[in-house]
Amino acid sequence: MQTMTHLTTYRRILHWSLATSATFGIIASLPSKVMALTGFTGPYDPSNWSTPVINSNANGSVDTANAPSEITLTGGDNNSNLPGTTDWTIFIDSSRAGNLSFDWSYFLLDTEAQDTAGYLLNGAFTTLAIKNGESSSSPVTLLVNPGDTFGFRVATLDNGSGTGIFSVSNFNVQPVPFEFSPAVGLAILGLNGVYRLWRKQQIQILK
């Protein structure tokens, strides 16, 4: 009789554990919902970027007066007749990682292509603007991961005859949600259920 009681208890615990594990496993398998970061604020506040800008044979600057909606990066014009760069960068940690997008516009006071502008990712420069009056026809999009360094650059070939002025607006970052697969969720929580079952069984045996 006592054996039958243990068997009945075992079955009840088994059913409860499997049902509980399945329910919470499904919940755990759902992707987390994260809020987009809009504008130069929060983790992307201008104070978190390189301050002042990083000039290499240049005397450029960044204007953040219109942040969080817009920033403007001005390139060098130190009359050295030598190339130079002006960079504004930020290190990507977990709070800044995700799918990044932005719009841009460009105003050039120098001869076409003497000053260019674009973005940096881990030191690699992607040119977006070379002509006066250019602007993005659609948002620039890219993925930034923890450990990356992202930024904007205005480069000059001659450091004379005027500067390049690069404005960035509609800056957004959509964090990539951490997705927990159903199989992993059920497996992890299933193990928890099995452990709870084993513990209860041991208690019943001791009784």
User: What pLDDT, on a 0 to 100 scale, did the predictor assign at position 7?
Assistant: 47
What's the Cα-to-Cα distance from 33 to each of 40, 44, 136, 138, 140, rounded to whole Å?
Answer: 21, 20, 29, 26, 23
Q: Which regions of the chain are under pLDDT 50?
A: 2-4, 7, 10, 14, 22-33, 180-181
What's the one-letter identity of residue 83?
Answer: P
Closest CA to 197 of 42, 61, 6: 6
User: What pLDDT, on a 0 to 100 scale, did the predictor assign at position 28?
Assistant: 46
Sequence-separated (6 or more) residues with CB below 8 Å from residue 42: 95
User: What pLDDT, on a 0 to 100 scale, did the predictor assign at position 186?
Assistant: 52
Helix and strand totals (H; E) in the chain: 2, 11
What's the Cα-to-Cα distance from 113 to each of 108, 129, 134, 160, 179, rounded to whole Å?
Answer: 9, 8, 12, 13, 44
pLDDT tens, residue by residue, 109-138: 988 889 999 999 999 999 999 999 999 999
User: What pLDDT, on a 0 to 100 scale, did the predictor assign at position 30?
Assistant: 46
User: What pLDDT, on a 0 to 100 scale, did the predictor assign at position 152?
Assistant: 98
Cβ–Cβ under 8 Å, residues 71 and 102: no
Tokens 């970027």, residue?
49
The pTM of this model reads: 0.73
Closest CA to 68 of 93, 96, 95, 43: 43
Within 13 A of 188's CA, how many CA atoms are on the CB side?
11
pLDDT tens, residue by residue, 21-40: 544 444 444 444 457 899 99
User: What pLDDT, on a 0 to 100 scale, did the predictor assign at position 202?
Assistant: 56
CA distance 64 to 70: 7
